[in-house]
Amino acid sequence: MVLVREGARGGKQALVGPLRAGGEYGTRRGTVRHSDIIGRAARARVDAVTAAGAGGRFMVHFPTLAEYVVLCGRQCTPIYPKDAAAIVAMLDAAPGARLLEAGTGNAGLTMHLARAVGPAGTVFTAERDRARAEHARQTVARFRRGALLPSIAFHVGALGDVVREIVGAADPQLAARLGGSADEQWRAGGNLVAPLFDGVVLDMPTPWTQLPLVFGFLKTDRYAVCYLPNMSQVVELVQRCRPWPLIVEDVVEVDWRSWDVRPAVVRSPEGALAAGEPMVCRPTHTPTGHTAFLVKLRKCAAHHHQA
């Protein structure tokens, strides 16, 4: 997959691929042939063709993870890079960490988490919709030729239905020790005898229904982050957390405002500044609307987990 951008500044950009012999990308300025891209270096310029001959000129890039998440095909609203970056920071995700995610969606956050934990870590992600889970797997596979796939374990089903499967994949010895006992025997006072995960992320409308099933597997003094679009959901989550060993540490709404800073085109030289180059300095026209609230919960009870 490559990023193709119109040559003019601020030109339209799009993901193209997977590249294949005979493939084409149609634009309003002509058709870009995949064969003209394959084998070229980053920032190479390629020309589109039209029925009348040469068309527009385009530049080819490797997409960043943020660009890929925003531009790739989707089956639901993605967790945008600004929120994904904040979640990675709130979890204090580090190389080698073992994370649990519920709500794979388009895998935008999944990929950010996988990059944070690196090849030595694992992101166990659950998606209840099978078609969406398969789409997410394909999305990951197409980014940088599947570089992040080894750090992601995909599971299909509601979190409560696949938590035993995930525990078995994360720690087979622990799973065997727990056996098929009832859920209340899997944890004691919200704390499992051998906590598994360095962080938990829940992207679902009612996380308080699933938290009791999984926070026992969260290591003491580590974090669970819930992604919630509405403040009414935040309030209910905070109320539901009161009986559990979870402290509400932070509720955050992430804003991201881009600015346009560049040399100005002076149409009237008489009105230009006497000294220095005139500059444009203003916010861009990109919308900065609300996406979601991020609720950061810290597990505070200490059983069988020493610093």
Residues 6 or more apart whose Cβ sits within 8 Å of residue 146: 140
pLDDT of residue 7: 72
pLDDT of residue 182: 42
Contact (CB, 8 A) for 215 and 207: no
* pLDDT surpassing 50 at residue 59: yes
Min mean pLDDT across 128-142, 195-209, 223-237, 293-307 is at 293-307
* pLDDT surpassing 50 at residue 201: yes
* pLDDT surpassing 80 at residue 307: no
Averaged pLDDT, 274-291: 76
Averaged pLDDT, 90-111: 97
Strands (DSSP E) contained in the chain are 2-6, 13-16, 24-27, 30-33, 45-50, 53-61, 98-102, 122-127, 152-156, 197-202, 218-228, 246-253, 259-263, 279-283, 293-299
pLDDT of residue 8: 59
**239 token code pair:** 């109320």
pLDDT of residue 194: 61
Nearest by Cα to 102 from 146, 46, 156: 156
CB count in 10 Å sphere of residue 220:
17
Q: Is residue 3 helix, strand or coil?
A: strand
Residues 6 or more apart whose Cβ sits within 8 Å of residue 84: 69, 108, 109, 112, 113
Min mean pLDDT across 20-24, 52-56, 267-271 is at 267-271
Chain center to CA of 109: 2
Helix axes 108-117, 130-142, angle to 10 degrees: 50
Write out pLDDT tens, residues 223-277. 999 999 999 999 999 999 988 889 999 999 998 888 888 888 776 666 555 556 7
Contact (CB, 8 A) for 123 and 113: yes
Residues 6 or more apart whose Cβ sits within 8 Å of residue 231: 293
pLDDT of residue 216: 82
**207 token code pair:** 């996380």
pLDDT of residue 277: 75
Write out pLDDT tens, residues 129-141. 999 999 999 999 9
Largest CA distance in the chain: 83
Residues paired with 101 in a beta bridge: 125, 201
The pLDDT confidence band at residue 282, using thresholds 50, 70 and 90, is: confident
* pLDDT surpassing 60 at residue 306: no
pLDDT of residue 160: 85
The pLDDT confidence band at residue 147, using thresholds 50, 70 and 90, is: very high
The pLDDT confidence band at residue 75, using thresholds 50, 70 and 90, is: confident
Residues in the chain, total = 307
**277 token code pair:** 């180059």
Measure the CA angle with vertex 240, ends 162 and 168; round to 5°: 20
* pLDDT surpassing 90 at residue 20: yes
Average pLDDT, the chain: 87
pLDDT of residue 95: 97
Q: How far is CA 112 from CA 60, 109, 143, 213, in A?
A: 23, 5, 12, 25
pTM: 0.87
Residue 174 region, left (φ>0) first, then alpha (ψ -120 to 50), else beta?
A: alpha
* pLDDT surpassing 80 at residue 181: no
The pLDDT confidence band at residue 11, using thresholds 50, 70 and 90, is: confident
Averaged pLDDT, 162-166: 89
